[in-house]
Structure 1
Amino acid sequence: MDENNKLNMFIPADDEAFSCPYADGSEEVNASKWHKIAMDLAADGALDESMEAFDSGLELEPENTILLRSKAAVLSRYGKKEDAYQVYLKALSYYPDDAVFSNGAGFVLMESGRAKDSLQFFDKSIASNSQFPNPWLGKGIAYGELGNFEKSIEAYDKAIALRADYKEAHFGKAVALGALGRYADAVPEFDKALESEPENADVWYYKALALDSAGDADNALAAYKKAVEFRPEFDDAWNNMGILLNALGRFDEALECFVQASEIDGDQADVWFNRGYTHAVLGQFDDAAGSFREAIEIDPTFVPAYMEAAFVYVQTGFPDEAVSLYDQAIALEPSAEAYFGKGVALQVIGDQEKADEAFEKAFELDPRYKEIFEGQKNS
């Protein structure tokens, strides 16, 4: 908040309290004016001062519903969920049958990771006002958080029955359907959500995921493109679009997506891994090795990055480096694949004795690798 603007509204007193702009007695400060002052301060980012203004208004009218609702909403928006919850409880002590207060309490609990506890407040809200769709939305989200997607869908349907254009409910239902593997059913729900907000990048992204999972690659690709059109910095959409393009064999386009994703957020190991894999497929081994190294630096436990980097180093004539990487992968997660790769690298070095030891370990962990080995010898 700009300090000059702040001083125009509240001038600190010696006791560190603040005084109201009407403190000279020129105009009475009633609860309504305290509400406006509090909301203006909240909009400017001055949360503490905003809370003091709300409290000043509530001293005048402790049961003022507008002040109570707004104070809770501001606290919630600033991430002060427990404080917001306490305001809702105070409000419910005055208005136990108020559907909005019960719904608000449910949402701040759910957003605090207390989905199970939130359900009682959503039910209370519904009991107070059966035509209020918001608590049904809350129940849908809460049941989804709890992994009960069937009940989640039932709740979303109730919300939609009360408000047909409830985009959040259509979106939530679509996500729940996707979680159950019902991708074909999810897509129309995403479309309904897009009817009222066609430029919502999140909805396009989740629609793309559903289409991708349903095997509709062309429409999934179109949906991913919409997501990044409306939010160019949407790194997850770029990454998943790249994965789909790789699956379609369109590696140059895929690489462009991974480059975009890594430039937006350079701290995602999986993006660097995908970028490295695509470089390798295109024969760009130096770039591939560099990308895999980035993935390992970000996440030293990312075993596939060690494995792919080792493979690249064998291909580019650095088998010693490959052995070191395979050993690190084995230390993290022993696997037949890692031992087999190590054996190949040791063969390239010329250390057949150690190579045989690595191959034997691979055969012990997965006998199928012996068939692969014998097939290579006979080819």
Structure 2
Amino acid sequence: MTTAARYFKIGPARLFVHFCVLVIVIVWLVPTLGIFVSALRDRDQITVSGWWTAFVGSTQTVAARLGTPDQQKQEGDIYVITGNVLADQPGRSVKAFGVRVQQPSAFDAGQTADLGDGESLLVNSDGSYRYMKNAAFGADERPRRIYVAASAPPEFTLANYKTVLTSEGIGQSFINSLTVTIPATIIPILIAAFAAYALSWMEFPGRALLIALVVGLIVVPLQMSLIPLLRLYNEIGTAIGQPSKTYPGIWLAHTAFGMPLAIYLLRAYIAGLPKEIIESARVDGASDFEIFTRIVLPLSFPALASFAIFQFLWVWNDLLVAMVFLGTDKDHLVLTGALNALLGSRGGNWEILTASAFVTIIIPLLVFFSLQRYLVRGLLAGSVKGG
């Protein structure tokens, strides 16, 4: 059997795995696609139709007023007012119309509707209309209101993103989130890498106890240590006369919360590196620092990348720690806090919320897809020891 034949011969177990992966991909992809498409539509389109209809157009019911009596013209025995209900909405076409809000689509486009009292109305698909009456329209008559079901072609705009990034404060919050997330990802990686090497290849008293302590700290809830850490941080800030809510404070907080998992993942990977490489370097006279920087660190990039994904996503999506250690003022408000504020103030403006949501997830998506090839290798760190 050829290699190609063996590849395409998929057994039931492998087929089930592929099916499950496909379902998971679809479950994650569909909401993301919906947010992206909705963020490119205007408010009227989002209100009347779902995002899945964005590429085929939508039908919207709009109210319009017919012409005034001074526009009437006599044609034989009847008086006619003409005009176009879509004059200010190019690209649309009328599907149906009505004269009551309860029945906005009572008559099809091109059909002459008998309105009673000698009045009739014809609205064509291009929006042109003829409002006819067998007697002259009185000068004091108010223009008649009608309702039109008009189809709108697919239309996309970047105005929502412009509004979000300029007038809604999301742009500043975006910078604040980057200011918090990048150092809060790099600092624990640097510290944990040194600690993981020491716990893997250096002999010292109490090493096993430290490893057990690290594993135990992974399961400690963040909320359990948040208040004691905040009190300690505020006391230190008061003692040195510095403001309590600053970026270095939240960097240290995220470092403390992410350190146990970082040390655990990196130690599992570093401990699985071939022992012969480490011993050969020591025989050649290399110090532990040189072994770490020149050998261990380059070989541990998959584990570093996998933890970087977890830490970056966790810090970027964090709201609790950011509000506690930075507050809610505009100069320090992170992206999740700004989006939460928009939910309260602009809860009905879906075009603003979807644009804000996509701005929130675009950076995590870029980080994940750029480092995802290292994720599995990092998570499987230590499962197979090097020979």
- After TM superposition, the score normalised by the length of structure 2 is 0.19
Query: Which structure has greater strand proportion?
Result: 2
**Larger Rg computed on CA atoms:** 2
Higher relative contact order structure (alpha carbons within 8 Å, sequence separation ≥ 6): 2
Query: Which structure has greater helix proportion?
Result: 1
- After TM superposition, the score normalised by the length of structure 1 is 0.19
